[in-house]
């Protein structure tokens, strides 16, 4: 293997170990994972042979008088078999000195460029028809002379036709343009399908059984946004953040997406979950509270209906000075968000208030949240 910093010795070739490393550590859009684990390397850097005769053959092929001091390396694109073999031991392809100078092209206006692209698809058929017509005319005239030649009109696209050899090893260079096909592939390769195999997995990552998770996903399908991920993966990503409090960078690597997209998905679905699931927080009737009351409450606090508590969560310091002052908590000496929670004696959460700044007192939140109306 070539050491770090090695570059192909062929004139005009810029392939090196750094480009190869960055390419393999990138994400493969077809397999949704790093290319290092699923895709072959597009090329390799082969070192100069130790045999003196073979070394001279390499130097002659590359038109080099003396080898570099740090060693000489040639990438796979310059070998017929993509590596030195007994039949083709020397680099023979794309050696640089056979390349003709690139002719400069004049710039085209955008409208002309679009017309050329539209006409390039029919250029081949047009040239064939014109050649056939001219051949028929020459046969019909009958006076063919040595000076008369058939002139075929060919139209060439101004667009430069080229192929990147590195892209030939990947199928994502020609992805389906149909959005349904893309969504179908994303569903087949979903992270949730590989992670949530049974109830124990679902309880570990989301806190709910697998059947409940599937029901939740089916309910939230109608609220799906314009994200490219499947709704199942988006809900799993959000619940994993709420359940495990994983870092955004960790979640983005688990789901093979960027950190900014992970934050957008979580922010979007937290609002939707609050909107859809708020009705699932019931206020238990007094008979149910007494029937499910633990023994410790029955003996000492038999008339207890609920337990109230103002909980606080740490908040990132806001940039706005007014918001920073409203959310500052003297108890925690930090910016916090505060909310009132009502819990039944059996442990069921029956009420959650709106969020308040950490500066608000418990009395104000209790009076303003509407808990006294129950």
From residue 356, alpha-carbon distances to 137, 275, 313 in Å are: 89, 18, 11
pLDDT category of residue 218 using cuts at 50, 70 and 90: very high
Contact 324, 317 (CB under 8 A): yes
Q: What sign for the dihedral angle of Cα 203, 204, 210, 212?
A: positive
What integer pLDDT is reported at residue 325 of this predicted model?
Answer: 92
- Tell me: the pLDDT tens digits for 48-94? 888 888 888 888 888 877 666 667 888 888 888 888 888 888 888 88
Pairing of strands 73-75, 45-47: antiparallel
What integer pLDDT is reported at residue 247 of this predicted model?
Answer: 93
pLDDT at 362 over 90: yes
What integer pLDDT is reported at residue 64 of this predicted model?
Answer: 78
10 Å Cβ neighbour count for 151? Answer: 8
Share of the chain above pLDDT 70, in %: 72
pLDDT category of residue 189 using cuts at 50, 70 and 90: low
**Mean pLDDT on 117-144:** 51
Retrieve residue 347's tokens: 């442990």
pLDDT category of residue 27 using cuts at 50, 70 and 90: confident
Contact 337, 358 (CB under 8 A): yes
Backbone angles phi, psi at 28, to 5 degrees: -85, 120
Share of the chain above pLDDT 90, in %: 41
pLDDT at 4 over 80: no
Of 267 and 181, which is predicted with more confidence?
Answer: 267
Which residue, among 218, 252, 247, has the nearest Cα to 235 in the 3D structure? 218
What integer pLDDT is reported at residue 151 of this predicted model?
Answer: 42
pLDDT category of residue 316 using cuts at 50, 70 and 90: confident
| pTM (whole model) above 0.75 | no
- Tell me: the pLDDT tens digits for 263-313? 999 999 999 998 898 888 899 999 999 999 999 999 999 999 999 999 999
The structural domains of the chain, with segments of one domain joined by +, span 1-105, 179-280, 286-373
Q: Across the chain, what does the average pLDDT equal?
A: 79
From residue 360, alpha-carbon distances to 46, 313, 320, 371 in Å are: 69, 13, 18, 16
What integer pLDDT is reported at residue 49 of this predicted model?
Answer: 85
User: Which CB contacts under 8 angstroms, 24+ apart, belong to 67-71?
Assistant: 68/9, 70/6, 71/3, 71/6, 71/47
pLDDT at 182 over 50: no
- Tell me: the pLDDT tens digits for 232-255? 999 999 999 999 989 999 999 999
Retrieve residue 320's tokens: 């706005």
Q: Give the CA diameter of the chain.
A: 123
Among 13-22, 268-277, 332-341, 362-371, where is mean pLDDT lowest? Answer: 13-22
């Amino acid at each position: 293997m070539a050491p770090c910093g090695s570059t192909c010795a062929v004139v005009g070739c810029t392939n090196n170990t750094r480009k190869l490393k960055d390419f393999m550590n990138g994400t493969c859009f077809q397999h949704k994972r790093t290319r290092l684990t699923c895709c072959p390397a597009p090329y390799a850097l082969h070192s100069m042979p130790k045999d003196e005769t073979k070394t001279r053959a390499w130097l002659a092929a590359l038109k080099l008088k003396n080898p570099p001091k740090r060693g000489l390396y040639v990438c796979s694109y310059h070998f017929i078999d993509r590596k030195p073999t007994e039949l083709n031991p020397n680099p023979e392809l794309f050696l640089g000195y056979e390349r003709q100078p690139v002719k400069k092209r004049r710039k085209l206006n955008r409208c002309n460029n679009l017309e050329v692209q539209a006409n390039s698809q029919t250029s081949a058929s047009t040239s064939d028809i014109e050649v056939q017509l001219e051949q028929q005319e020459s046969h019909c005239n009958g006076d063919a002379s040595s000076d008369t030649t058939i002139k075929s009109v060919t139209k060439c696209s101004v667009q430069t036709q080229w192929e990147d050899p590195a892209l030939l090893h990947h199928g994502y260079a020609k992805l389906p343009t149909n959005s349904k096909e893309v969504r179908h592939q994303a569903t087949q390769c979903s992270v949730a399908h590989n992670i949530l195999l049974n109830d124990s997995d679902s309880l570990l990552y989301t806190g709910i059984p697998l059947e409940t998770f599937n029901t939740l996903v089916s309910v939230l399908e109608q609220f799906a946004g314009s994200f490219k991920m499947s709704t199942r993966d988006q809900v799993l990503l959000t619940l994993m953040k709420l359940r495990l409090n994983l870092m955004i960078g960790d979640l983005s690597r688990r789901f093979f997406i960027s950190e900014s997209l992970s934050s957008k998905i979580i922010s979007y679905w937290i609002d939707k979950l609050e909107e859809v699931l708020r009705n699932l927080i019931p206020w238990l009737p007094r008979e149910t509270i007494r029937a499910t009351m633990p023994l410790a409450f029955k003996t000492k606090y038999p008339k207890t209906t609920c337990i109230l508590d103002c909980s606080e969560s740490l908040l990132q310091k806001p940039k706005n000075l007014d918001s920073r002052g409203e959310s500052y908590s003297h108890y925690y000496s930090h910016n916090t968000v505060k909310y009132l929670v009502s819990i039944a004696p059996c442990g069921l959460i029956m009420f959650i208030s709106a969020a308040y700044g950490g500066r608000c007192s418990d009395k104000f939140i209790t009076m303003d949240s509407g808990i006294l109306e129950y």
